[in-house]
Structure 1
Amino acid sequence: MIKNILISFVLFSSIIFAQLIQPKLVLQQKEYDFGDIKQGDIVTHTFVLSNSGGDLLKISNVQASCGCTAAAPEKNELGPGESTNLTVKFNSAGRKGVQTKTVKISSNDPQNPEMTITIRSNVVLPSETSTGDPVIYVTETQHDFGKVNEGDKVDYTFKFVNKGSSNLIISDIKTSCGCTAALLSADNLEPGQEGTIKVLLL
């Protein structure tokens, strides 16, 4: 009986010691609500990441749930007891209503290899809409074509709508490089009318 108790105590102590020398990611805050923001506003919030373990914590990846959200830690490696800031930026352009976005943090913490931060907001149209101005609302702001073979031509159609109370006139549309082209369905949209932009990767 004494031997069994001694062996159990040694095993238990070994497990506790092993956990103490492992890296451990701690989030001082896992959620943040920006409240009401105007469409087009870019808002930021800084989260604090800490290593409360006994070994080097390595942050291998920080992935936002959509292109409207960006996040990057100031440091990717934290020694025991060290902390770093993670600033999350949300771009509300083309968004409306309640928004919930997440940021997934991957690290070498054996107990929690993936942890998630959540940000929320309620995007409202700017007050100018009541004066009779046009307002463009884009349902998607980015698209990933994935792997494209050399020589292949692919395209994707984005949709937008005029949610204002007067005609929306689009004077120009440009792409960032000569490898892409954009085709506009209409350059004059009445209130409530939908339009499309077909983007071609050449």
Structure 2
Amino acid sequence: MKALLFTFFAAMLAVTACNNQGTKSEKGNVLDTATAGGHYPVMTFEKQLHDFGNVTEGEVVEYSFKFTNTGEKDLLINNAEASCGCTVPEWPKEPIKPGESGYMKVKFDSKGRPEGHTEKELYIQANTNPPMMNGPRIQCMIVKKK
């Protein structure tokens, strides 16, 4: 089921990426920009990447990405998926009003993951334009238990 959802998200991203008329800030942290008139919510993350550093295989780590609705309408996140089942996002279910902030918590379970560098990306579906977008990423270096 997760593979099917991931395929769906990837296909939607590919289709909408070619028509993206938005712009990114210098830091590249704006995931979505409104079309002319600005009548959409805009999900702007404070930070696009979190590095956990060294994580011992089997350890569960988590981080909360702060975002702000910089658009003109209420932001409603419908779904969030990660590029792997070992990474689980949690997001606010209530609408985020323009100018308000929220957090997307990400849990990464390193159990059974191979030693070395790993990076996981979030895919977000919301009432933005386009409705599917690449979200922030986490990364770490997995080390074996001693």
Counterparts of 1:30 and 1:112, CA distance in 2: 18
* Separation in 2, partners of 1:105, 1:31: 15
Once residues 57 and 136 of structure 2 are traced to their aligned partners in structure 1, the CA distance between those partners, rounded to angstroms, is 22
Aligned length: 111
What residue is the counterpart of 2:50 in the other structure? 32
TM-score, normalisation: structure 1: 0.51
Residues in 1 aligned to 2:87 and 2:132: alpha-carbon distance in whole angstroms = 22
So what's the TM-score if we normalise by structure 2?
Answer: 0.69
- After superposition, the C-alpha distances for 1:7-54 in whole angstroms (9 at most, x for unaligned) are xxxxxxxx85x21x3211111111111111111110001101211111
Distance (whole Å) between structure 2 residues aligned to residue 109 and residue 36 of structure 1:
35
Question: In the alignment, which residue of structure 1 is the partner of 2:62?
Answer: 44
Identity of aligned residues (%): 32
* Residue number in structure 1 paired with 2:20: none
- 2:109 equivalent in structure 1: 91
Q: Distance in 2 between the 1:113 and 1:76 partners?
A: 18
Alpha-carbon distance between aligned partners in 1 of 2:128 and 2:107, rounded to the nearest angstrom:
25
Structure with the largest fraction of strand: 1
1: CA distance, partners of 2:92 / 2:130: 23
**Mapped partners of 1:114, 1:54: distance in 2:** 18
Q: 2:12 is matched with which residue? A: none
Determine if the alignment matches structure 1 residue 101 to structure 2 residue 136: no
RMSD (CA atoms): 1.7
Distance 1:113 1:40 in 2: 31
Aligned CA distance change for structure 1 residues 29 and 112 (closer, same or farther; 3 Å):
farther
User: Relative to 1, partners in 2 of residues 1:106 and 1:58: Cα closer, same or farther, differing over 3 Å?
Assistant: same
Alignment of 1:26-175 (within 5 A): 26-95=44-113, 96-110=115-129, 113-127=132-146
Quote the Cα distance in structure 2 between the aligned partners of 1:110 and 1:23: 8
Distance (whole Å) between structure 2 residues aligned to residue 57 and residue 93 of structure 1: 34
Question: Aligned partners of 1:77, 1:41: CA distance in 2, in Å?
Answer: 33
Does the residue aligned with 1:78 lie in a helix, a strand or coil? coil
Contact map agreement 2:75 2:95 (CA 8 A) in 1: yes
